[in-house]
Structure 1
Amino acid sequence: MAQSTPRPDASVRTTPSHRFDIRVYYEDTDMGGIVYHANYLKFIERARSDWVAGMGVDQRAMKEKDGLVFAVRRVECDYLLAARFDDRLEVLTDVQSVTGARLVLRQQVVRDGEAVFAAIATIVCVTDTGHPARLPANIRRILH
């Protein structure tokens, strides 16, 4: 059965909105020297955090002032090639869509221009009590 991969909508940019460099350390690998599958999620999380900070969004202040935090609602991912100890990787992040309540990002981990991992991450905001909330207007403005 063929798997369907989500297609970007018309709002997708042709170039990534953010690039983040990663070096694979020994601790990132399994016994075979290959990046352990869960670590790709850590790599894309670091890239998202760096991307948000680079846009001038202070997540600490957002929590303290508005009582809002970002949360990952869903991640759909494909493991394409093995990355190994000491590889130099780059995480590419671009916006797939933005609505009042969610942000959908396409992220790829690449080595020498070739994708080794691809993911679609859906990000939402929640209150301190864990209830869903709209994305702050200033963040929606930055992303549009």
Structure 2
Amino acid sequence: MYNPFVTLFILAIPVACIAWTVTHEEVFKEIREFCVKNSHEQKTLAGRKFFYLFTCEYCFSHYVTIFMLIITGYKLIYADWRGYFIAGFSLVWIANIYMSLYGLLRTDIKVEKTEATMKEKLLENQD
């Protein structure tokens, strides 16, 4: 059988990937913009919060985690409902660490690309 703590770090990868993709990437841009608009304009608190869930990677990762726990049956430490509870919050926590690191990495890459483009333009202007 697999080590449950290794499994935790592996299962957090698809949770982070799905949550990041839905809340940040271009492929879901129109849906996300619709949700942002409705998260501000809905008349009820429940309506605003429902649409907000699809714009926040932390919030959305809870729902992806619940789905992941249902399809895998993964539990941590305890074999009963407490195992699901602990596994759920552990997966969310690790997935959000992954997303934070990925966000920092993407920011660094964008800065480097921008600096390289600026340097190229300066060199072209000097010629």
TM-score, normalised with respect to structure 1: 0.25
Larger relative helix fraction: 2
Q: Which has the higher strand share?
A: 1
